[in-house]
Amino acid sequence: MASSFFGLYVQRDSLQLAQKGLDITGHNISNIKTEGYSRQRLDIVSVANTAGSLGYNTQVSLAGKGADALGVTQIRDKLLDNKVRRYSSELCDTGAKTTVLSDIEDILDDVENAESGLSAIFGELKAAFQSFSATGADRQDLATVAMNSAESVINVLKNFDTRIGEVELATREDIDATNNRVNTILTQLASLNKQIKDAYVQMDNVIATKAGYEAEIEYGPLELKDNFNKLCDELAQYMNISVEQKQDGTYDVKFKDVLLVSNDAYAKTDIVFTDEIEERNDFAELFVSSLNSEKEWKKCERQITADIETNEKLTTDIKALNQYIYSGEVKKAQELERDIIKLANDEGIRYSPIFTNNKDIMSPEQIAELPSYAITVDERTEKLEGGSVTGLFDCYNGKGCYAVNNENMYNGIKYYQETIRAFANAMVKEFNLIYEEYNATAPADQQFKLFEFEDGAVEDGEVENLKIAESWQRNVLRCVHPNIDAEGNLDYNYDQLDNSYINKILSVFDKDHNFGKEPDKFTFEGFIQYYGQTVGGDLEYELGSFDSVNIMLTSVSEARDSVMGVSMDEEGVNMMNYQKWYNAISRMINALDECLDKLINGTGRVGL
């Protein structure tokens, strides 16, 4: 049989629930503008009618125990979270490409400018050589005009090469900044994981198991969860990720099969730039280290012992190693430690390594001494997909049709550098072929060229080294006819109207030529239009992709906001419902109080 005050206890608890419902409603309304906030809900259930070992039963005497709260949960949809992050990753991928391609198009717009661009200047060069057909013209002046026009063409090409180099440098800086931000996010996520795990225990939202405990993951530290999800949304802008909550309440963050965050451990990324200009094979790569907790990561700092101090080079290298570790440049640290191990072993100085990648040069003793927090540097570049990291890498590394082996085939910065380089090399080759027959019989010191590179080469040169050939600079009229005598004097009557070489030069403007590894042939002016159209087409494609993905991202973001976002209308309804409930409970307490008053004060008074 229930006690006389049973009903009051039930309504007291219900009154507290109604108050807590109003508290949560007010909390939601207060955070309606808070970025990343997930709407919270009080989970209320009916209290089971139990009696000792009888389990659930319907005994009237124990019925009517009222309601209880399981906890406060947040309203989120995992499927919508995944969609938002996937579309966000795709949007930032194409967005990064759009930004770089827009910069390149701006440069090419200047190159194609009708008044001062490459097409216009190249047209002036052609017009200058056409002027030789005019009867009575001063051929010395005409040749000078032609040389000046050729110099203008070279300056435009060099200006393009310089400006696209600036875009390359800016993209390189963006890659560095992105890498630094990714490392910061991973560190923050690991720190939040630890706080979440501790909070579950402190809030007593855990269930004991044989293995330890499991968290009641539906509840717990909701604000910490919001912060974690907010950072995951940002991380998804840089690369594709998946997020899974574990039974202890913490989250695993992965890129495909690569763990980025687990408990309080996190990966460190390190972007390495390889510059091999001679082989035209400069590129960027991303390396991901194994997981190390913050505490273990700090242990990675190498101590400079007394015997190490005796070697100045070793001391300097270990200081640099510690700086790399401190700044999270894992790959650079691993490569430097390889040199440190070799030097220490050669000098007979004891050194305890931390990178397992260098086992091939370690002694058995060093391998045995590898600490528990030893790092394995894992190369994962080929698996990166989506996000601004991939967008920037495609733009930085992309060589288009100039790619060989496994190089990036996107039409990126290097592709457009190669196109202008191909133009310059084709110009040197085709215009110098005009004088091939003459040069075949002329002594070395009497040979003639229109264009060359700084070292005198006439093929496979860099745009920055392109120049007017020395033989043309010494005598501008040799473009009309290259003959000179042993003393270097003109060996031809240049007042004669013989335009045989001029006509050959003009024919070069009209013929189709091969440009680098481009599959089709073009005239020089046609090729200028071609690579302008190429970047325009690439940019149009990326802009179209950006708009399409943006529409989908907006759609799923709105759907997610409708689930996790705070609605003033819904909270207003909740507020009125909880208020009505609160008022009804208050009246119920008054009714119970009157009943108890009658029972206590109005019954059992014998003789009155």
What residues form DSSP beta bridges with 215?
206
What residues form DSSP beta bridges with 541?
none
What residues form DSSP beta bridges with 73?
41
Kindly state the average pLDDT of the residues 383-387: 68
In angstroms, the CA 230 to CA 236 distance is 10
3-state SS assignment for residue 244? strand
In angstroms, the CA 145 to CA 140 distance is 9
3-state SS assignment for residue 123? helix
What residues form DSSP beta bridges with 285?
272
Look at phi and psi of residue 221 and say left if phi exceeds 0, alpha if psi is from -120 to 50, else beta: beta
pLDDT (tens digit, 9 = 90+) per residue, 452-498?
998 888 888 999 999 999 999 999 988 888 888 877 788 777 666 67
- Cβ contacts of 353 within 8 Å, gap of 6 or more: 337, 340, 341, 362, 366, 369, 370, 374
- The H or E element that residue 548 is part of is helix 524-564
User: Is the CA virtual torsion 463, 469, 470, 473 positive or negative?
Assistant: negative
Looking at per-residue confidence, does 109 or 512 come out higher?
512
pLDDT for 602 equals: 74
Statement: residue 53 has pLDDT above 70: no
Contact indicator for 476, 143 with CB cutoff of 8 Å: yes
Kindly state the average pLDDT of the residues 209-236: 89
Distances (CA, A) of 538 to 99, 415, 419: 12, 12, 15
In the chain, the largest separation of any two C-alpha atoms, in whole Å, equals 155
pLDDT for 546 equals: 94
DSSP string, 157-173: HHHHHHHHHHHHHHHHH
Show the tokens assigned to 143. Answer: 């040749």
Taking residue 195's Cβ as centre, other Cβ atoms within 10 Å add up to 15
- Cβ contacts of 547 within 8 Å, gap of 6 or more: none
CA angle 462, 463, 464 (to 5 degrees): 90
pLDDT for 1 equals: 52
CA angle 111, 114, 116 (to 5 degrees): 60
In angstroms, the CA 21 to CA 575 distance is 8
Find the range with the poorest average confidence among 42-46, 378-382, 553-557: 378-382
DSSP string, 174-209: HHHHHHHHHHHHHHHHHHHHHHHHHHHHHTT-EEEE
Taking residue 61's Cβ as centre, other Cβ atoms within 10 Å add up to 10
Helix 139-202, helix 78-111: angle, nearest 10:
170
Confidence class for position 277, pLDDT limits 50, 70, 90: very low
pTM of the model: 0.81
- Cβ contacts of 111 within 8 Å, gap of 6 or more: 117, 118, 119, 156, 160, 528, 532
pLDDT (tens digit, 9 = 90+) per residue, 183-208?
899 999 999 999 999 998 888 887 87
pLDDT (tens digit, 9 = 90+) per residue, 540-582?
999 999 999 999 999 999 999 999 999 999 989 989 998 898 8
Name, of 97-106, 128-137, 591-600, the range with top average pLDDT: 97-106
Average pLDDT, rounded, for the chain: 85
Kindly state the average pLDDT of the residues 77-84: 94
Task: Using DSSP bridges, classify how beta strands 212-215 and 242-245 pair: parallel, antiparallel or unpaired.
Answer: unpaired
Statement: residue 212 has pLDDT above 90: no
Statement: residue 437 has pLDDT above 80: yes
Confidence class for position 594, pLDDT limits 50, 70, 90: confident
pLDDT for 507 equals: 93
3-state SS assignment for residue 362? coil
3-state SS assignment for residue 566? coil
pLDDT for 278 equals: 43
How many Å from the N-terminal Cα to the C-terminal Cα in the chain? 30
In angstroms, the CA 509 to CA 170 distance is 35
Find the range with the poorest average confidence among 61-75, 119-133, 292-306, 476-490: 292-306
Kindly state the average pLDDT of the residues 240-254: 91
pLDDT for 604 equals: 66
DSSP string, 25-73: HHHHHHTTT-TT---EEEEEEEPP-B-GGG-B---GGG----EEEEEEE
Contacts 24+ apart (CB under 8 A), 24-29: 24/72, 25/571, 25/574, 25/575, 25/578, 26/575, 28/566, 28/571, 29/566, 29/568, 29/571, 29/575
- Cα 371 → chain centroid: 32
